[in-house]
Amino acid sequence: MSALAGKVAIVTGSGRGIGRQIALKLASAGASVVVNDLDDEPASETVSLIEAAGGRAMTCNGDVAAVDFGDRIVNAALEGLGGLEIIVNNAGYIWNTTIQRNTDEQWQAMLDVHATAPFRILRAAADHFRTTAKREIAEGNLVQRKVVNISSVSGTHGSATQVAYSAGKAAVVGMTHTLSKEWGRYGVNVNAVAFGFIETRLTQEFEGQPAEIEVHGRQFKVGFPADKAKVKYEGISLGRPGRAEEAAGAVYLLCLPEADFVTGQILVCDGGKI
């Protein structure tokens, strides 16, 4: 039997990159997945890939930082797919600058997407987790559930020009430790994965002008100049950046039944630091 057969998972930011690979990995193990992205097209592509492989998925698109989004995506899982056993808080983006140029808007945007959005989703799931666990305990059949929050080595160690992003990702670490203590009694494992240099559109190399992504109508420069990217590789024990599939693998490990006694941990997935 597939390791995650019968489970329902939410994966935010799963239309592209690492999030898409997480959704595909969980689906390949039997989970039904609620896919989310700001844009309909990439999310639909992820759903199509899952369904083409024989899996089950649906979309719940929109801004994870919207005030009502936590309730909306949790209800989508419960009503659309019939349950909720796995939450992966992955959605996010970068908006970097030195602190003297960091605006209040920039600071708040990074906290909203990286810290407040996961908080609201987990708060929305709390009643379902608690009431379902109490019923299962009374029946003698507690189901272990999983939360995997996505942090970053910028959140565990800091990174120049990323004061707002690092603060948001550090908040995820505190949230993870705290909820692992609150939710252990309900059979919920709460862990986080802190990524290092993973190949995505946010970290792509460029020559000349950087690439841009659009978030809420605003253009953000992303990626690294090729010469600076190679310097970053030199600080990685494995000598290269990680692939999105490898990043997804780290998340997958924490969703497996074999990790049922692992909680409150921050798994660093960075290829090793020299």
Separation of CA 209 from chain center: 29
Identified catalytic residue from 165, 186, 233, 252: 165
186 belongs to the catalytic site: no
Q: What is the CA radius of gyration of the chain?
A: 18
Asked if residue 87 lies in contact with residue 122, where contact means CB atoms within 8 angstroms, the answer is yes
Structure tokens at 75: 């209800």
From residue 118, how far is each of 59, 69, 115, 244 by CA, in Å? 18, 10, 6, 21
Measured at the CA of 162, the angle between CA 160 and CA 163, to 5 degrees, comes to 100
Half-sphere exposure of 227 (CA within 13 A, CB side): 2
- Local structure of 6: helix, strand or coil: coil
Which residues are marked as active site?
165
